[in-house]
Structure 1
Amino acid sequence: MEKWILLGMAPVFLGLIVWEAWYWRSRRPEIYSWVDTFSNAGLALMHQVADAVAWTLTIGLFYLVYQHRLFDVPATWWGILLLVLGQDFFYYWFHRAHHRIRWMWASHVTHHSSERLNLSTAFRQSLTYPISGMWLFWLPLAWLGFEPTHIVAVVAINLGFQFFVHTQAIGKLGWIEKVFNTPSHHRVHHARNAKYIDRNYAGVLIIWDKLFGSFVEEDLAVPCEYGIIGQVHSHNPITLTFHEWAAMFRDARRAQGLRGALKQLFGPPERGLAHRAVNSDPEG
């Protein structure tokens, strides 16, 4: 179901990408490049195939959990509202975990690896999300009593909404900024500036970041610098998908003992950078 919802929205997505590329063509042509955009498209296709396979393999587990549900939440307006709020809450923790646990960052880094931010960047996804455990974060919704197909649909709608915040063409949006994720908030999230890094994990509602201490407002005096620490300079979708997995396993293999290896696999992503810096230091 998720695949069909997102495919149904594809003409809107593609039309807006064309419009945005035209808009920036004479204003800031560096925001778009053909090679970067086609790389994003290739990553999106790979991700969609992997996602469809993952849902096919895991939907049975969701129904198994659903058989032991705490409540029966009806598909009424208030039941759907609760599901939207609940899914967005768990999305926040999914997103935060994928920045702070290296095993999960190995998938999510693909999305952050472009030094450009435009609507096509929303397509820049990894096919390895099922391996890093994205689907685990939605299981509590089935246990609470939400029907699994409805969960899948709301996940797709949430991801569809997030397409629209990947842009530099829209400034701040007044009171909307206080409640919802906006392009301004998401520009902060994609920035690698020290002030901005690992902030604003919101899907639809920015209130979770404000509640849990991860919110930072965009400061127009500090322009966002996009990309990742330890930038990968490649447009090859295979390289963009697997470069951090390869580095992570290499660092784990070189670590001292089982504990050191586990820290490389499941500790914060910056452990890998520090480990490589120490091992490249001739005095270290």
Structure 2
Amino acid sequence: MSPERSPVWLAMMLALVLAEVAWRMHKGHGYDARTALTTLGIVAGNIPFAALNALLLGGLFTAAWTIAPIRLPLDDWRTWAAGFLAVEFAYYWFHRASHRVRWLWASHSVHHSATQMTLLSSLRLGWTNLFSAGWIFYVPLVFAGFDPRLVFGLLALNLRYQFFLHTEAVGRLGPMEWIFNTPAHHRLHHASNSAYIDRNYGGVLIVFDRLFGTLAIERPDEPIRYGLAHREATANPIRLALREWSYIARDAAVARGPRQLARALFGAP
């Protein structure tokens, strides 16, 4: 489900990252080189997992498409409009569950581990997304008649859009904030402050956060702190990618009975 890594897209990302570095240094915010290197380590480790995900999930979604009871026409703009809303809806619930279900959080926590909010930090993606099975949220879209190519294409656009949200260089954007996810909304989503945790789950849109009561706005008296609320910071990419799974395994091993085991695996992080 990763967006295509085209040369033009990579060149634009690099140019924006460098521009943001210059902006942060000029503003006196600093740029943590160690954090950046950790992110690059996570990216490098994620490459083989992303390839495996594409292969296996492509086959799985194609198989689901072969037995889908209906098939909406891919050449109809209404299919794409409806598909956009459907993918945004599924992404909202996938993202919300990734913060509320420990099994999903084990992968998603990697994305929240950076202690600076930068464009580069958007590339911190877990290596175990296939195993944590967040893709289950998108399978119903295929059975609803949406071609897997549409689902994957819109998810790729969703992720590309979110690259631009991971920055402190853009302030509030006025009326746009009512409908779209913006850097201001997403900065708060990455906060580790207890007042802000588990808010603003949207991808491109923020409307589902408004509808389901998970929208929050940064308060002047509560500056955002980034990083993980109850985990120490580490620069080790492998530890970041796997440590939540080790904690789950530890708690599952000492669980007494099915209820404790279920809580260890699927309870709140």
Which range, TM-score by smaller chain?
over 0.9
Deviates more, 1:40-49 or 1:132-141: 40-49
TM-superposed CA distance for 1:266, in Å, is: 0.5
Unaligned runs of 5+ in 1: 270-284
Q: Who is 1:276 aligned against?
A: none
Q: Who is 1:80 aligned against?
A: 80
Q: Who is 2:38 aligned against?
A: 39
Aligned-partner Cα distance in 1 for 2:194–2:109: 17
Q: Who is 2:143 aligned against?
A: 143
> How has the CA–CA distance of structure 1 residues 7 and 46 changed in structure 2, closer, same or farther, with 3 Å as cutoff?
farther
Asked whether the 8 Å contact 1:66–1:148 carries over to 2, the reply is yes
Deviates more, 1:227-236 or 1:197-206: 227-236
Q: Who is 1:197 aligned against?
A: 197
> Secondary structure at the residue paired with 1:127?
coil
Q: Who is 2:215 aligned against?
A: 215
> How has the CA–CA distance of structure 1 residues 147 and 8 changed in structure 2, closer, same or farther, with 3 Å as cutoff?
farther
The residue type equivalent to 1:88 in the other structure is E
> How has the CA–CA distance of structure 1 residues 236 and 7 changed in structure 2, closer, same or farther, with 3 Å as cutoff?
farther
Deviates more, 1:63-72 or 1:136-145: 63-72
Asked whether the 8 Å contact 1:3–1:52 carries over to 2, the reply is no
Q: Who is 1:120 aligned against?
A: 120
Q: Does 1:251 align with 2:243?
A: no
Aligned-partner Cα distance in 2 for 1:81–1:47: 31
The residue type equivalent to 2:192 in the other structure is R
Aligned residues: percent identity?
38
Q: Who is 1:69 aligned against?
A: 68
Q: Who is 2:132 aligned against?
A: 132
Q: Who is 1:50 aligned against?
A: 49
Asked whether the 8 Å contact 1:5–1:157 carries over to 2, the reply is no
Asked whether the 8 Å contact 1:121–1:166 carries over to 2, the reply is yes
Aligned-partner Cα distance in 2 for 1:48–1:192: 28
Aligned-partner Cα distance in 1 for 2:151–2:217: 31
Deviation per CA, 1:103-155, whole angstroms, max 9, x where unpaired? 11011111111111111110111111111012212111111111112211111
Aligned-partner Cα distance in 1 for 2:61–2:100: 26
Aligned-partner Cα distance in 1 for 2:203–2:231: 25
Asked whether the 8 Å contact 2:2–2:159 carries over to 1, the reply is no
The residue type equivalent to 1:69 in the other structure is A
Aligned-partner Cα distance in 1 for 2:267–2:8: 38
Q: Does 1:100 align with 2:100?
A: yes
TM-superposed CA distance for 1:221, in Å, is: 2.8
TM-score, with length taken from structure 2: 0.94
TM-superposed CA distance for 1:71, in Å, is: 2.9
Deviation per CA, 1:154-207, whole angstroms, max 9, x where unpaired? 111110000000111111100000000000100110001111001000001000
Aligned-partner Cα distance in 2 for 1:101–1:6: 33
Asked whether the 8 Å contact 2:110–2:241 carries over to 1, the reply is yes
Aligned-partner Cα distance in 1 for 2:155–2:7: 14
Aligned-partner Cα distance in 2 for 1:45–1:147: 30
> How has the CA–CA distance of structure 1 residues 5 and 78 changed in structure 2, closer, same or farther, with 3 Å as cutoff?
farther
Q: Who is 2:59 aligned against?
A: 60
Deviation per CA, 1:66-86, whole angstroms, max 9, x where unpaired? 123243222222211211111
Q: Does 1:183 align with 2:183?
A: yes
